[in-house]
Structure 1
Amino acid sequence: MDSAPLTLGQTLRLGLIGLFVFFGIWLLLPTAGLVPPSFLPSPIAVAERVATLTTEPFAGATLPAHIAYSFTRFIAGFALAALIGIPLGLMMGWFRLVDEIVSPIFDGLRFIAPIAWVPFAALWFGTGIGGPVMIIFAGAFPPCVINAYRGARQVDRRLVEAAEMLGTGHFRMIVDILLPASVPSLVAGLRVAAGLGWQSLVGAELIVASTGVGFMMVQAQANVATSTVMAGMVAIGIVGLAIDMALRWTEASIRRHRGLDG
């Protein structure tokens, strides 16, 4: 097995080959009549539909407006998950008493799929912003807690012992030792949480929203507008990739700054 690392140029070439094959097969299937265009529009038709949706409303708004609605909900749910999940995970990892109290409840809830909360979101919030935010929170919350917990547990015990010998209080230890040491793990958790939260948002909008990319896709499916459905999928993928790249860059920057690479 060849384990030699690939150069950047080789990686780019292989990636381009993969994209070429993928789009080539996609273009061939409807163009050659192997599948009907109503079932699988060509990439050219989807690209044209994306361009059209940027200026022409569908399901009450243009594609950028639907993306803005979705992103607003995502930010709300993701921020709520981080603001609650990170402190909770740090406290669980730092204080054994908190861990013993919270872990049984958390371990039971974290295995419930975010989409399972959709019926409650619909009952409690209807089609308002609260329902999707609740589903995003359900998807993003567990990774925030788990990675914060791991970050707290991986703190160098020698630093803790040295601080205790100097009589450092809990608050100073948390601020000066726990938080700085946990940052790489926290950012890694946020990246996972963002991916799960964005996926959960789209699932929620399919059911409990009256705007957003997911809602637009449902309306397109009801009208058998396959190219519009796929345009929504493209938008979801691009926005999700942008979110992940931003967090990946942040994670890499922090690791380089702290000398954790290599």
Structure 2
Amino acid sequence: MAKRRDRNFLGPAGTSLGLGEFWALTAAGFVLFFAVWGGVAASGWLPPNLLPSPLAVWDTLVRLWNQPFAGHVYAEHLSASIQRFLMGWAIAVGIGVPLGLLMGWYRLLDEIVTPLFDAMRFVAPLAWVPLAALWFGTGIGGPLLIIFVGSFAPCVISAYRGARLVETRLVEAAQTLGASSRQVMLHVLIPGALPSIIAGLRVSAGLGWQSLVGSELIVVGAGLGYLMVQGQGNLNTTVVIAGMVGIGVVGFAIDVLLRAVEAAFKRKWGQA
């Protein structure tokens, strides 16, 4: 039997890439990036206080992992950021997905909610920072609101599109067999919309994680965004970049995890 290739990874002209090839190209991309970064830093075109070398940033990461900066070691800042993200994202998913499904199912609700939703989703998450600070002060509610705003729209849109793409004949068949609205929702609408919902969760998680730094501009005592702001205040570029590295690595890990969930779902339902 030929070795199965994951169709989630596409190469030139739509050809599939195997998982090993995907990770090899991913590693090559990282190697190229760090090589260019190290070359520019070593060239002296920019002073070290503006562009430190990758080795200098690595040394700073090691130091921050063992010595507190801005009140906490690096792992504690990282943990605080991840906890805030998971809470804010979970709230966005828990509200956004059901709302999107209901909007796709009930025409009246769609007509009522869509104009307001379309207007508010174009307000950038950072624009909510002053309002969140006024509403919640130094409490956890402010950061959660910013992450929620960043994550919410993709959840609604993906669930709404998934519900609208469910074939009408399937709904009519279920109703003909005597299924109630609740049963149609649980056994036809949600399973049919699930591929779109899962794809939307990847986008939602990415935008929510990107909103993290903005959320931590609100007065907090720990977090990668807080670490970066404190590094800026101390004119310490290596600390700022160390915070950026953590944000990038965790964001990449979140995307890979959700991509694996999406691929597993497609395999289960015969879509891969």
Matched, 1:118 2:135: no
Q: 1:114 to 1:7 in 2, by over 3 A?
A: closer
Letter in 1 for 2:46: V
Matched, 1:256 2:267: yes
Decide which of 194, 198, 210 is 1:183's aligned counterpart.
194
Q: Can you list the C-alpha shifts for 1:46-91, whole angstroms capped at 9, x where unaligned? A: 1111111111110011111011111111111101101111110000
8 Å contact kept, 1:121–1:208:
no
- Distance in 1, matches of 2:82 and 2:27, equals 29
Q: 1:60 to 1:196 in 2, by over 3 A?
A: same
Higher mean Cα deviation, 20-29 or 31-40?
20-29
Q: 1:17 to 1:173 in 2, by over 3 A?
A: closer
- Aligned residue for 1:35, secondary structure, equals coil
Equivalent residue for 1:19? 30
Q: Can you list the C-alpha shifts for 1:190-222, whole angstroms capped at 9, x where unaligned? A: 111100001111122134433210011000011
Identity of aligned pairs, percent? 53
Give me the TM-score of the superposition, normalised by structure 1. 0.94
Give me the TM-score of the superposition, normalised by structure 2. 0.90
Equivalent residue for 2:144? 133
Equivalent residue for 2:243? 232
Q: Can you list the C-alpha shifts for 1:125-178, whole angstroms capped at 9, x where unaligned? A: 122211010001101010000000011111121111111111211011111111
Matched, 1:42 2:58: no
Equivalent residue for 1:82? 93
- Distance in 2, matches of 1:176 and 1:17, equals 44
- Distance in 2, matches of 1:7 and 1:242, equals 19
Letter in 2 for 1:105: L
Segments of structure 2 that go 5 or more residues without pairing to the other structure are 1-11
Q: 1:177 to 1:26 in 2, by over 3 A?
A: same
Equivalent residue for 1:246? 257
- Distance in 2, matches of 1:17 and 1:244, equals 18
Equivalent residue for 1:160? 171
- Distance in 1, matches of 2:67 and 2:236, equals 15
State the 1:100 CA deviation.
1.1
Letter in 1 for 2:120: L
Matched, 1:194 2:231: no
- Superposed CA RMSD in Å reads 1.7
State the 1:24 CA deviation.
1.9
Q: 1:10 to 1:155 in 2, by over 3 A?
A: closer
Letter in 2 for 1:226: T
Equivalent residue for 1:91? 102
Decide which of 68, 72, 75 is 2:83's aligned counterpart.
72
Matched, 1:51 2:62: yes
Decide which of 163, 167, 185 is 1:174's aligned counterpart.
185
State the 1:244 CA deviation.
0.9
Q: 1:16 to 1:190 in 2, by over 3 A?
A: closer
Decide which of 10, 13, 19 is 1:3's aligned counterpart.
13
Equivalent residue for 2:3? none
Letter in 1 for 2:215: A
- Distance in 2, matches of 1:64 and 1:119, equals 28
Letter in 1 for 2:57: V
- Distance in 2, matches of 1:63 and 1:102, equals 42
Matched, 1:29 2:40: yes
- Distance in 2, matches of 1:172 and 1:71, equals 36
State the 1:29 CA deviation.
2.4
Q: 1:255 to 1:37 in 2, by over 3 A?
A: same
8 Å contact kept, 2:171–2:188:
yes
8 Å contact kept, 1:148–1:185:
yes
Q: 1:172 to 1:16 in 2, by over 3 A?
A: closer
8 Å contact kept, 1:136–1:201:
yes
8 Å contact kept, 2:143–2:218:
no
